[in-house]
Structure 1
Amino acid sequence: MTNCAKRAPEPTAASVPASELECMQRAMYFESNRSSRDGMIAVGSVVMNRVESSAYPNTICGVVGQKNQFAPGVMTKAMQLNTAPLIPGAAKAVAQGERHPRIGAAKFFHAAWYKADFNNMHYVVTTGGNAFYEKRKPNRVTNPRPVKATEGLTGG
């Protein structure tokens, strides 16, 4: 007799409420500069890292709607998704479990042009106009500056 543990089913876009998918789309629309699928998936990966962390709300809308965390008006400004046709598919892909391969545990990002001056920022990827990073103890930071921008690492 074998002992096979049942795995939880992979999430599907259908198992994520439409309102949560819209919040993910909003984060991608207003934060990824609508410039690349990699940038959208990276933003979505950060959102999901926060959802999975006990330090943040446990819903996509809760994370995206947190005060002073995402672009001003992210929850209220109008989106023109016809100008960003990749966003609905990218939001569904993240809801189904896709993550940017270099995001890891990163929960933070800023515009790639911004020069931050903190000693606890460990950069993992720059894509879609943003630099993504983990906060670490200063002695564990090995990439203290944004890494060279890369694109084309996500499927789709």
Structure 2
Amino acid sequence: MRLHQVWAVAVAAILALNGAAVAEVTVSHSNDPTSLMSSQFASLFGAEHKAVGALPADRVQKLVAGPPVTAKKSADKAATYGVTSPQLVQYSTAWLAGLPQPQGDAQWDCLRTALYFEARGEGVKGQFAVAEVILNRVDSGVYPNSICGVVKQGGKGSCQFSYTCDRARDVMANPQAADIAGRIARVMIDGAPRQLTAGATHFHTRAVNPNWSRSFAKTASIGAHMFYRMR
């Protein structure tokens, strides 16, 4: 047991016993359990101090540092930090290519599919922005609370994302674009900061001017898309 753990256990035990002595006033001083325990802990700590003092300096350092982090855990932490720190997220294909091969569940597949069909013609930043819109909708409380629910939602005789109801087969025929979409989806689901669209829940291309855009707050303009947030 490491030193600080032993001390923690000892202190907790003494405090607990002291509390018991206060609560139970009939405990006699001649049979005080805290006195016995205190002497036992003093003996224990004295023995441990001597044992630790006899160890080589490098061994003591290892005891203080704790068990080493495995290579896999280290790699997992590096990947996690790489996508959750705003300073480390880079909107480039080179940065995305350096991340682990993406994979995921049905929600990840729904997000990568939406990015492919809605924004594969955009730059990397534009695709990240569309991902933000979808995830903002998931969190809004106004739209379905899952990625698949959001991208497949219908309404007013149409679909929120046109590719889901255009009667065409959703085949991602461009492997490179599909790979980029999958990597962006993985990064965003894993917690990358949504720092491009200021909470946008809607977007449209510059080629159109939908009526709803007049009542929403415009938050960003990225590539061919305009982004808006509900007031």
**TM-score, length basis structure 2:** 0.48
| 2:204 aligned partner | 110
Paired amino acid for 1:127: I
Paired amino acid for 1:124: T
Q: Which moved more, 1:102-111 or 1:80-89?
A: 80-89
CA distance in 2, matches of 1:127, 1:119: 18
| 1:120 aligned partner | 215
Aligned with residue 95 of structure 1, among 171, 189, 199: 189
Percent sequence identity over matched residues? 29
- Greater RCO, 1 or 2 (C-alpha within 8 Å, sep 6+): 1
Paired amino acid for 1:70: F
Match of 2:214, SS state, is coil
Q: How many residues align?
A: 126
Kindly name which structure, 1 or 2, has the bigger radius of gyration based on alpha carbons. 2
| 2:224 aligned partner | 129
| 1:64 aligned partner | 151
Paired amino acid for 2:216: M
**Structure 1 residues 81, 95: closer, same or farther in 2, change over 3 A?**
farther
Give the gaps of 5 or more residues in structure 1: 1-8, 137-156
> RMSD of aligned C-alpha atoms?
2.8
Paired amino acid for 2:148: C
**Structure 1 residues 53, 131: closer, same or farther in 2, change over 3 A?**
same
Match of 2:136, SS state, is helix
| 1:78 aligned partner | 171
| 1:139 aligned partner | none
Give 1:80 deviation, angstroms: 2.3
Paired amino acid for 1:135: M
**Structure 1 residues 91, 70: closer, same or farther in 2, change over 3 A?**
same
1:105-134 Cα offsets, whole Å, 9 max, x none, are 210001122123453122111224211111
Alignment of 1:135-154 (within 5 A): 135-136=230-231
Give the gaps of 5 or more residues in structure 2: 1-79, 85-99
Structure that is richer in helix per residue: 2
State whether residues 32 and 128 of structure 1, in contact with CA within 8 Å, keep that contact through their aligned partners in structure 2: no
